[in-house]
Amino acid sequence: MRNRNVLLGCSALLAVAAAYEHSAAEICKGDSDASCTARTVGDSEADETPLLQLRASGNLEADSHANHSYTYEVEKVTAFAALVKFTYCSAAEGVAMSLAATCGSNSDPVAGNKGYCELAGVRIHSSSVRTILMADGDSSKALSGFVGRLVATADKPKVQPGCVFAIRGTWEDTNNYLRNQQIQLVQSEYGDCKECLVHSGYQEVWKLLEHAAENLFDALNCTKQDPLYLIGHSMGGAVATMGMYALKTQGWNIQPSITFSSPHTGNQAFVQELQRLVGGSTDAVAVVRVTLGKDLVPITPRKGDYAFTWPEVYFSSKTDAKAMKLCWNTSCGIAAQSNHCGVGACNDHLANPIAPNDDLAIFKDYTGACVWGLGAASNQNLPKVAQQDASQQMAWMAKAIQPKVAKCDGDWQPAAGSRAVYRTTVVPRLGAPWMNITSASGTSAHLVMAR
């Protein structure tokens, strides 16, 4: 039996604390297998950065390409690219505020709005975001992402409101690289498809994340009936695909989603079963892959009977979002290219014209975007490292932001973005840990967590 105590109580307690006093709180519980950080930001925080005009194309309404049973949803791709970028803040304090500023609403001037979700007809409020930062083995910062709730801002939104789980890609100085190399195809541990084989490493990563994610779903009142999107870049996209399959077999309302520059997840039987579960038939659309240039990662692993999901949105330009093809087979798109380049040879793995600042991971100012909550910078050139290969960019990112693994036992934790302070205590009591939560105003609550 898998360890179901990973992140036990972390986000559930966060929800209780946030409801107990209308402000943000940082509450966590780690065990020998994993550590976590969960944060939310209070409603009163404002973003003062200017509106960034969405520039995915000159005419987004007209910029769609019909093929088969799928039409290119530029509004959805643009919104999800912006959300995925903030996974590379690695659960820093300002993620919730930045998501609200980047994916806000014009009708909500306090939250701010840079326009990336405007045409999709949805927004994220800072109070409806929870972040994850947890260990994988001896790598304390190996896995990160966030769960958020999408709320409609239009009568007929292009993205159905619901919940979204975004998962970060490979991070420097962690065993993510080891997981990427665990390419053996093994039987899926989810569902009843005997022929469904999946990437060993990515299934193991999902097994670590799944209970943490379910706790965060609970914290945001995301039920199995709510539409749920799983998105990610690179390894995060492959793990998101694995998670879609796993959660769908458990009864969650998984929606067709989007991954960016992600490697393979499973064999043809897995792909067809995922499409049947999510879309209703083996040739339905479950995952839309977004790729660029000559990036090697989306065609890996190259050993084994791995299969692509379709369709693929292929960009041939790093800066022109109109230089796009909608592909349905390997004669088109990333697989049709020659002389593919790895992360150590080019920057095609991180560059993308649909993302803020044409990059899926690099920010102009990590402190402003990830800590201060100012959102994605508008009309600013990225650091020079963005012109270097993806490997150098990822090394730069790891130095630019140092994610913290919170230590909660008997310690005072400031609530990110608010004046409240919570003291947490975790000790055995009648076979279950308990926590005292005391706010700066002196009010307190006593919580007992079930194992």
pLDDT tens digits along 119-130: 899 999 889 999
* CA distances for 16 relative to 423, 448, 450, angstroms: 14, 12, 14
Quick one: pLDDT at residue 114? 75
pLDDT tens digits along 295-320: 999 999 999 999 999 999 999 999 99
pLDDT tens digits along 246-258: 999 999 999 999 9
* Average pLDDT of the chain, as a whole number: 78
Instruction: Give the sign of the dihedral formed by CA 13, CA 138, CA 204, CA 201.
Output: positive
Sort 160 into a burial class: Cβ within 10 Å, 0-12 / 13-18 / 19+.
middle
Range among 64-73, 104-113, 165-174 rated most confident: 165-174
User: Over 50: is that where the pLDDT of 234 sits?
Assistant: yes
Q: Which among 69, 10, 21, 37 is positioned nearest to 285, based on CA atoms?
A: 69
User: Over 70: is that where the pLDDT of 21 sits?
Assistant: no
User: Over 50: is that where the pLDDT of 445 sits?
Assistant: no
Residue that is written with structure tokens 């994605």 in the block? 376
Q: What is the phi-psi region of residue 417: left when phi exceeds 0, alpha when psi lies from -120 to 50, beta otherwise?
A: left
Of 111-125, 180-194, 198-212, the poorest mean pLDDT is in 111-125
Q: Number of C-alpha atoms within 13 angstroms, CB side, residue 130?
A: 32
Query: Dihedral through CA 298, CA 304, CA 307, CA 308, nearest 10?
Result: 10
User: Over 90: is that where the pLDDT of 26 sits?
Assistant: no
Q: What is the phi-psi region of residue 168: left when phi exceeds 0, alpha when psi lies from -120 to 50, beta otherwise?
A: beta
Model confidence band, residue 55 (pLDDT cutoffs 50, 70, 90) = very low
Quick one: pLDDT at residue 384? 85
Answer yes or no: are the C-beta atoms of 222 and 252 closer than 8 Å: no
Quick one: pLDDT at residue 427? 32
User: Over 80: is that where the pLDDT of 385 sits?
Assistant: yes
Helix, strand, coil percentages for the chain (3-state, nearest 5)? 25, 20, 50
